[in-house]
């Protein structure tokens, strides 16, 4: 089918022209509004079986274009049954993945402009807004001034922020900067050692695998200090490894671990890391958002001692996935680890080519959604939002503590409450969880800590209210009563 | 500002409730339609100076939330001057970054659901649709059947596809799989050697830097074979390196180089790579889309000999950034290189946890937009689209060839025409380019090949028509006439 003349209008105009997009776009906005209005009624965890979709879709692409109405019908009938509704107020699994109205508007605009901000000239606004908004967010989180791109007087500093796609990428990028700073020759690379607690996020191990760092030491965290890293254990490991001729270079500290929201003691770890010339990276993927409220900032004490700090605005700060800000005290090692300048990309100025701060070359205009969120909510709105969730977690904690058959299984922190059946076996807790999750009325996940299987009630869905927490608890306690009465 | 009761409605409901989102979302759709209607009138390359935005925005975030209308005003007045309009039909720089109506609708829906598909249960539809749609795309591109997740009869195969964020990530992931397959011990890693031509995308060097591979050999490509890799040069390098005790493990071949759209000869390279047990990765970031038309498939001959293949649907296949499909013949080395399974993520089934096929843990529901694009256009619509652009490039090539002061500077291929002033100096070509780009009426970039600075006319913006190509040529030739008459 050869085009016959210049009259054809492919691309945007064809097969869907601007006027049809106007209509379909507005219908999609209505669909989204309907979705959010009714999401609390949808099963939270999808109940399909693996492979469910293959039998419902053709094995081959269509030869001719299809009507939009047919596609949208498939969304409701074929796709939605396989969606786990992270935006349900009854979603208490993993950690939250916040969506918000300004976040979605930001995604719409970003998709429409569809600029590729690998270099400054690729769209100056994309690079510059990102830097400015991360300076804003650094202030909202009360980060040490060294993490801002400019001093309060407006002078460029050595550090700054960049939006990564995920905390895993932030970890990798920080590890690579650390490796560069350590200056090990290639044939010495296998002597490098990275450190984290056994509660550290798996991204540490993955980053080590990727970077070819074979020594990734996992230090046992103990229940006694709330599953946080023990500074003495770190010191001992450092001495031991140095005695073996190894070269410690990287400390991965968590503020808010994945399992139990444990907080590594930065104030004690920082000086040790500095003494041994380690690059300290702080992973506060979930908990970082809590730094917007002054009463939680004690969890972050010691940030003046670290080299990089990461949080996911896409977890608990209302910014649609993906948006994982990373701040570094000094950007030079990062750029040294990641910069190349092929001729085709050379363009006006070299100021802030953010490709040199990340793994990929291309990058979306993600600053827009974060800017929209911060401006729409304002500092006070964000604080109110975080406090609301922390208060709801307290409500849930109180319900657990007041129940004779349950107990708190790790120190509750921020929006996370870990709990389990008192004297319950591993199997009983697992069975309780599965019964709850398969009801579709709520979704939680379990984790293993200290050899026990415990349940995690992770609070932070954008629209969760006290009524949802109370309803969840009613489900949980009734299911447990029913289960235990059968034995 | 403590919340006073459970009556507050934070998150989605506050400060922007569903009804306001309905209104603002539809206004945004209108804004987008206006943008596309008028984008050809906007300056293509932004003309702001570095730092332009800082002076226009507050240095600190607002204390109270702001009205949406104020935010949207800033979009037009402060952001848009700093946007380089990749969606302009007068954008001929780099390679295209296609947006389309179904692509944008996919982004809207994906942002609304905001599911995190790191594991199958995170949203079964996200994982399963991705696998199915990449099987569709593999058929559209006529890839060897081994790259599909299922045989035509529906039996699971050893290979399959995954959507990466960018070609750089695809390169890195393939390199890591290759390293795993090579099975070098950590202390042997510094002996590994990766190979590419000096026309290979910079992502090869970056991947090597990240993975700690210090030997990344860049083989000189020659003008004589259209800047493609010379199989003899590869063979010689392999023998030389093996004689030195090094361990070749990875071949990076390009189908459509960044500089000139050069095509490495897969049919000749493949057997050499196989003999030396190299993992061959094919980077067809831009050119890959051309495989939808049978008459261009000769460029891809030899894919049955390679291990992985990558193209960017976000370049020339109408799918908004980011969408970079990667197919592998065998997924096992990939998973072995990248898989961990932390307890908190363990859930029902382990089928196709796509986190094990990529660097990040989290992932967006990117298959939706690709599915929307393929269904809306159909195979024939996509073919018509690609042919339209290739035809326009021929028109441009003809204009260059017919002009006495210009010459073609590299073999024209697909949508790319490299040209320069005949007998023009480096400075003259650069001055011509800057004069054109600063006019705002079109945007191209230059590149260095064989010691010459040449101009790249990269055709592929979604809405480009013959009239834009003719107008661009008029600009270019008039500017050249004017410049040359002044000397």
Q: Say which CATH number the domain at B282 has.
A: 3.40.640.10
Residues facing A454 on adjacent strands: A447
Scanning every residue of chain A, which has its alpha carbon at the shortest distance from the alpha carbon of B86?
A115
The answer to whether residue A98 sits within a structural domain is: no
pLDDT for the residue numbered A11: 53
For residue B481, the surrounding DSSP H or E stretch is helix B466-485
In 3D space, the residue among A86, A445, A39, A55 whose CA is nearest the CA of residue B128 turns out to be A55
- Asked if the Cβ–Cβ distance from A100 to B11 is below 8 Å, we say yes
Q: What is the DSSP letter of B222?
A: B
The answer to whether residue B279 scores a pLDDT higher than 80 is yes
* pLDDT top residue among A201 and A351: A201
pLDDT of residue A259: 96
Judge whether A205 lies within some domain: yes
Largest CA distance in chain A: 79
* pLDDT per residue as tens digits for the range B294-342: 999 999 999 999 999 999 999 999 999 999 999 999 999 999 999 886 4
Residue B372 resides in a domain: no
pLDDT band at A9 (very low <50, low <70, confident <90, very high): very low
In a domain, A377, yes or no: no
Element (H, E) at B193: strand B192-197
Q: What is the pLDDT of residue B432?
A: 98
Section A63-67 average pLDDT: 96
Tally of structural domains, chain B: 1
Is residue A356 domain-shared with residue A401, that is, in the same domain? no
Which residues on B lie below 8 Å from A46 (Cβ)?
A: 121, 123-125
Q: Which of A11-15, A179-183, B420-424 has the lowest mean pLDDT?
A: A11-15
- Contact yes or no for A338 and B179 at CB 8 A: no
Residues of A in contact with B348 (CB under 8 A): 50
Closest CA to B2 of A399, A385, A468, A414: A385
Q: What is the pLDDT of residue B11?
A: 53
Please check the confidence at residue B181 and state whether its pLDDT lies above 80.
Answer: yes
CA distance to A403, B2, B251, per residue, from A390 (Å)? 20, 11, 52
Nearest to A6 among B14, B103, B466 (CB): B466
Same-domain status, A407 and A445? yes
Rounded mean pLDDT of A378-404? 97
User: What is the band of B6 on the pLDDT scale with cuts at 50, 70, 90?
Assistant: very low
Query: In this predicted structure, which of A171-175, A332-336, B28-32 has the lowest mean pLDDT?
Result: A332-336
Mean pLDDT of A11-27: 86
Long-range contacts of A353-356 (CB under 8 A, 24+ apart): A353/A118, A353/A119, A353/A120, A353/A127, A354/A117, A354/A118, A354/A127, A354/A130, A354/A162, A355/A118, A355/A119
| B374, A65 Cβ separation under 8 angstroms | no
Q: What pLDDT does A187 receive?
A: 79
Per-residue confidence (pLDDT) for residue A155, from 0 to 100: 87
CA distance B364 to A366: 14
Give the closest-approach CA distance of B236 to chain A in angstroms.
Answer: 24
Which of these, A282, A366, A379, lies nearest to A322 by C-alpha position?
A: A366
Residue A30 near chain B (CB below 8 Å):
yes
Q: Please say if the pLDDT value at position A351 is more than 80.
A: no
Give the separation between CA B150 and CA A487, rounded to whole angstroms: 45
State whether residue B372 sits within 8 Å of chain A by CB: yes
pLDDT digits (tens, 9 = 90+) for B202-237: 999 999 999 999 999 999 998 988 999 999 999 999
Q: Is the pLDDT of residue B460 over 90?
A: yes
What's the CA gap between A90 and B139, in Å, rounded? 40
Co-location of A125 and A269 in the same domain: yes
Interface predicted TM-score of the whole assembly (ipTM), two decimals: 0.95
- A330 and A448 share one domain: no
Judged on CB neighbours under 10 Å (0-12, 13-18, 19+), A178 is buried
Q: What is the pLDDT at residue B442?
A: 98
A448·B343 Cβ contact <8 A: yes
Q: Return the structure tokens found at B261.
A: 């759209």
Whether the per-residue pLDDT at A10 is higher than 50: the answer is no
Mean pLDDT score, B376-383: 97
pLDDT at site B487: 60
Smallest CA–CA distance, residue B318 to chain A, in Å, is 7
Joined tokens for residue A21: 């997009």
Q: Which CATH number do you get for residue A451?
A: 3.90.1150.10
Residues A138 and A198 in one domain: yes
The angle subtended at Cα B116 by Cα B347 and Cα A45, nearest 5°, is 50
Is the same domain home to A70 and A127?
no
- Residue A315: C-alpha distances to residues A97, A319, B116, B151 (Å): 4, 8, 10, 38
Which chain A residue is nearest to residue B124, measuring alpha carbons?
A: A82
Could you tell me if A75 and A220 lie in one domain? no
In a domain, B241, yes or no: yes
**Number of DSSP helices (H) and strands (E) in chain B, helices first:** 13, 11
Residues B35-71: tens digit of each pLDDT:
999 999 999 999 999 999 999 999 999 999 999 999 9
* Number of residues that make up chain B: 487
What is the reported pLDDT for B77? Answer: 97
Residue where one domain finishes, among candidates A364, A394, A419 = A364
**Contact (CB<8Å) B112/A99:** yes
DSSP class of B290 = G
SS3 string of chain A? CCCCCCCCCCHHHCCCCHHHHHHHHHHHHHHHHHHHHHHHHCCCCCCCCCCCCHHHCCCCCCCCCCCHHHHHHHHHHHHHHHCCCCCCCCECCCCCCCCCHHHHHHHHHHHHHCCCCCCHHHCHHHHHHHHHHHHHHHHHCCCCHHHCCECCCCCECCCEEEEECCHHHHHHHHHHHHHHHHCCCHHHHHHEEEEEECCCCCHHHHHHHHHCCCEEEEECCEHHHCCECCHHHHHHHHHHHHHCCCEEEEEEEEECCCCCCCECCHHHHHHHHHHCCCEEEEECCCHHHHHHCHHHHHHHCCHHHCCEEECCHHHHCCCCCCCEEEEECCCHHHHHHHCCCCHHHCCCCCCCCHHHHCCCCCCCCCHHHHHHHHHHHHHHHHHHHHHHHHHHHHHHHHHHHCCCCEEECCCCECCEEEEEECCCCHHHHHHHHHHHHHHCCCECEEEEECCEEEEEEECCCCCCCHHHHHHHHHHHHHHHHHHHHCC
Please give the helix or strand (H or E) that residue B272 lies within, else none: helix B266-275
Residues facing B453 on adjacent strands = B448
**A243 interfaces chain B, CB cutoff of 8 Å:** no
Q: Would the pLDDT of B152 be above 90?
A: no
Residue of A12, A58, A240 lying closest to B320 (CA atoms): A12
Residue A106 in any domain: the answer is no
pLDDT, residue B345, reads: 53
With CA atoms as reference, report the closest residue to A308 among A72, A452, A433, A144.
Answer: A144
Same domain, A330 and A411: no
Mutation pick from A78, A106, A108 vs chain B, by most beta carbons of B within 10 Å, is A108
In a domain, B312, yes or no: yes
pLDDT of residue A184: 79
Q: Does residue A4 lie within any of the structural domains?
A: no
How far is the alpha carbon of A176 from chain B, nearest alpha carbon, in Å? Answer: 7
| pLDDT tens column, A272-281 | 999 999 999 9
B439 vs B478: CA distance, rounded Å: 13
What are the chain A neighbours of B64 within 8 Å (beta carbons)? 378-381
Interface of B with A in 182-241 (CB under 8 A): 186-187, 189-190, 201-203, 205-206, 209-214
* pLDDT, average across residues B178-207: 92
Last residue of a domain, one of A89, A124, A140: A89
**Residue B153: what pLDDT?**
83
- Determine, for residues B1 and A380 on separate chains, whether the beta-carbon distance falls below 8 Å: yes
**pLDDT, tens only, A190-216:** 899 999 999 999 999 999 999 999 999
Q: Which residues of A touch B70 (CB under 8 A)?
A: 375
Do A173 and A264 lie in one domain? The reply is: yes
Closest partner residue to B203 (CB to CB) among A9, A20, A361 is A361
| Contact list, B116 vs chain A (CB under 8 Å) | 86, 94, 97, 321
Same domain, A235 and A326: yes
> Between β-strands B215-219 and B247-254, what pairing exists: parallel, antiparallel or unpaired?
unpaired
Collapsed DSSP state (helix, strand, coil) of residue B160? strand
Residue ranges of alpha helices (H) inside B289-404 are: 313-316, 332-338, 367-401
Q: What Rg do the C-alpha atoms of chain B give, in angstroms?
A: 24
Tell whether A453 and A313 lie within a shared domain.
Answer: no
User: In this predicted model, what pLDDT tens digit does every residue of B86-121 receive, in sequence order?
Assistant: 999 999 999 999 999 999 999 999 999 999 998 999
Q: A472 and A422 in one domain?
A: yes
pLDDT at B12 over 80: no
Count of CB atoms situated within 10 Å of the CB of B69? 9
CA B468 to chain CA mean position, Å: 23
Contact A111 B103 (CB under 8 A): yes
Whether omega for the bond prior to residue B17 falls within 30 degrees of 0, making it cis, is no
What is the residue range of B200's domain? 116-364
Percent of all residues in chain B with a pLDDT value above 90, rounded to a whole number: 87
Report yes or no: B454 and B420 within 8 Å, Cβ to Cβ. yes
Instruction: Give residue A7's pLDDT band: very low, low, confident or very high (50, 70, 90).
Output: very low
Average pLDDT of the residues of chain B: 93
């Amino acid at each position: 089918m050869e085009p016959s003349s210049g009259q054809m209008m492919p691309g945007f105009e064809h097969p869907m022209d601007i006027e049809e997009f106007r209509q379909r776009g507005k219908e999609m906005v209505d669909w989204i509004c309907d979705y959010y209005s009714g999401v609390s009624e949808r099963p939270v965890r999808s109940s399909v079986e693996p492979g469910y979709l293959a039998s419902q879709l053709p094995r081959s692409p269509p030869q001719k274009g299809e009507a939009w109405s047919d596609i949208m019908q498939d969304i409701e009938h074929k796709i939605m049954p396989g969606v786990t509704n992270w935006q349900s107020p009854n979603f208490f699994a993993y950690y939250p993945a916040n969506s918000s109205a300004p976040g979605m508007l930001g995604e719409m605009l970003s998709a429409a402009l569809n600029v590729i901000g690998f270099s400054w000239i690729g769209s100056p606004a994309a690079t510059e807004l990102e830097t400015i908004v991360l300076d804003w967010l650094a202030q909202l989180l009360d980060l040490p001034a060294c993490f801002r791109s400019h001093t309060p007087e407006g002078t460029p500093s050595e550090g700054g922020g960049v939006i990564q796609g995920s905390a895993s990428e932030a970890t990798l990028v920080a590890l690579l900067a650390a490796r560069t700073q350590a200056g090990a020759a290639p044939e010495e690379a296998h002597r490098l050692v990275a450190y984290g607690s056994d509660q550290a996020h798996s991204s540490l191990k993955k980053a080590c695998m990727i970077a070819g760092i074979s020594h990734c030491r996992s230090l046992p965290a103990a229940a006694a200090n709330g599953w946080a890293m023990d500074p003495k254990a770190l010191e001992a490991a450092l001495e031991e490894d140095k005695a073996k001729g190894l070269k410690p270079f990287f400390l991965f500290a968590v503020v808010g671990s994945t399992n139990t929201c444990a907080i590594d003691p930065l104030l004690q770890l920082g000086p040790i890391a500095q003494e041994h010339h380690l690059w300290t990276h702080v992973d506060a993927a979930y908990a970082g958002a809590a730094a917007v409220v002054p009463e939680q900032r004690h969890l972050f004490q010691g940030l003046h001692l670290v080299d990089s700090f990461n949080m996911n605005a896409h977890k608990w700060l209302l910014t649609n996935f993906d948006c994982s800000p990373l701040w570094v005290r000094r950007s030079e090692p990062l750029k040294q680890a990641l910069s190349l300048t092929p001729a085709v990309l050379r363009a006006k100025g070299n100021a802030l080519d953010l490709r040199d701060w990340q793994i990929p070359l291309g990058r979306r205009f993600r600053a827009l959604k974060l800017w929209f969120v911060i401006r729409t909510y304002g500092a006070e709105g964000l604080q109110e939002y975080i406090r609301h969730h922390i208060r709801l977690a307290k409500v849930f904690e109180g319900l657990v503590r007041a129940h004779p058959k349950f107990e708190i299984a790790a120190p509750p922190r921020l929006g996370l409450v870990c709990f389990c059946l008192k004297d319950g076996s591993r199997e009983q807790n697992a069975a309780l969880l599965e019964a709850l999750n398969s009801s579709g009325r709520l979704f939680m996940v379990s984790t293993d800590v200290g050899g026990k299987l415990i349940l995690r009630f992770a609070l932070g869905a954008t629209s969760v209210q006290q009524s949802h927490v109370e309803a969840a608890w009613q489900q949980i306690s009734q299911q447990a009563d029913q289960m235990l009465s059968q034995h």
